[in-house]
Structure 1
């Protein structure tokens, strides 16, 4: 299942780290990327909880980053080669929005990670999302822009209601 969503997770995490980059060096960039990837992984697993969901998004495609680029003001920035930006077609707007919600709200991130225990993605495997749910000071510094509630608010607001509905108590992840 991880392999089915890996292009979507990689592209959406890359979009987040490009839109909200780390201000530090190589270590800070790596810490920022890990946090983005963990948030996107949790969001993707919540959004696509079954093998059928993952297969459908893989077949149809997630939609791309066009609207997200427009919201963040990154649309039309420089002349870019289409081949270089092919990864942007694998960005999932809903997953990016949900990840933004998780990155800016630690309680919501804990709730989301707990909810994954009900899904098929974590069956029989232990996963840790510490950098998402309990970031230390180095994590916070590395991802200052990525975790800034005011900066992520336009992206988080896009699909926050759907995330809250998905995490509502008693809501089954496997439909």
Structure 2
């Protein structure tokens, strides 16, 4: 089964940085995109464990229509130039990524939960810009990091994120041998 979530990650990252633009300047744009990509990657890996990843690449994640409506973005044509990438935006992944971007404690917990994640096997797993943003990161992405501005997206699926993390924590604490 394919574990490739690159289309979902790319489209959802693109949606986040368009909905919550970086501060002016090329360096700020690059830093904001790195933060968004790290948050979306963690969210996608949590949302789609191995088998589910193959299913989402076949069926598609649903698109950005409701997200666009929530943030009052310009409506788009499904058949227009934005239509193709927008169909690969995953609403739940965007919501979870927004939650991670606005709460570094939650981000740290989510990254820790991926310790044995099959998606990360053989790839570098550095999420410092997400879990430990420095002053440049904050300056580059003030809108994406602002809890009040991101609240409408965060609250869409935050309970499911918290439940997923709770389940992952409880799995880690399962006794491995009988006493």
SS across alignment from 1:35: helix
Residues 64, 93 of structure 1: 8 Å contact kept: yes
Where 2:5 maps in the other structure, the secondary structure is helix
SS at 1:121 equivalent:
helix
How large is the Cα RMSD of the aligned pairs? 1.9
Q: Which has the larger radius of gyration?
A: 2
CA 1:6–1:128 in 2, change beyond 3 Å: closer, same or farther?
same
Uncovered stretches (5+) of structure 2, i.e. residues with no partner: 173-179
Cα gap change, 1:80 to 1:65, in 2 (>3 Å): closer
> Compared with structure 1, are the counterparts of its residues 83 and 163 closer, same or farther at alpha carbon in structure 2 (3 Å cutoff)?
same
Give the one of 117, 130, 133 matched to 2:115.
117
2:146 pairs with 121, 145, 148, which one?
148
Paired residue total: 170
Change in 2 beyond 3 A, CA 1:15/1:2: farther
The question of whether the paired residues in 1 share the 8 Å contact of 2:2 and 2:54 is answered with: no
TM-score where L is the length of structure 1? 0.91
Give 1:49 deviation, angstroms: 1.3
Shift >6 Å, 4+ stretches: none
Inter-CA distance 73–171: structure 2 relative to 1 (3 Å threshold): farther
Per-residue deviation, residues 64-105 of structure 1 (Å, max 9, x unmatched): 00000000001427x796133310000000000000000000
Give the match's secondary structure for 2:120: coil
SS in 1 for 2:145: coil
| C-alpha distance 164-30 of structure 1, shift in aligned 2 (>3 A) | same
Q: Deviations over 1:24-77 (max 9, x none)?
A: 200000000000000000000000111x21110011100000000000001427
Rounded to whole Å, the distance in 2 between the matches of 1:121 and 1:3 is 6
Give 1:19-98 correspondences, 5 Å limit: 19-50=19-50, 52-76=51-75, 82-98=80-96
* Structure 2 SS opposite 1:63: coil
Q: Which runs of 5+ in 1 are unaligned?
A: none
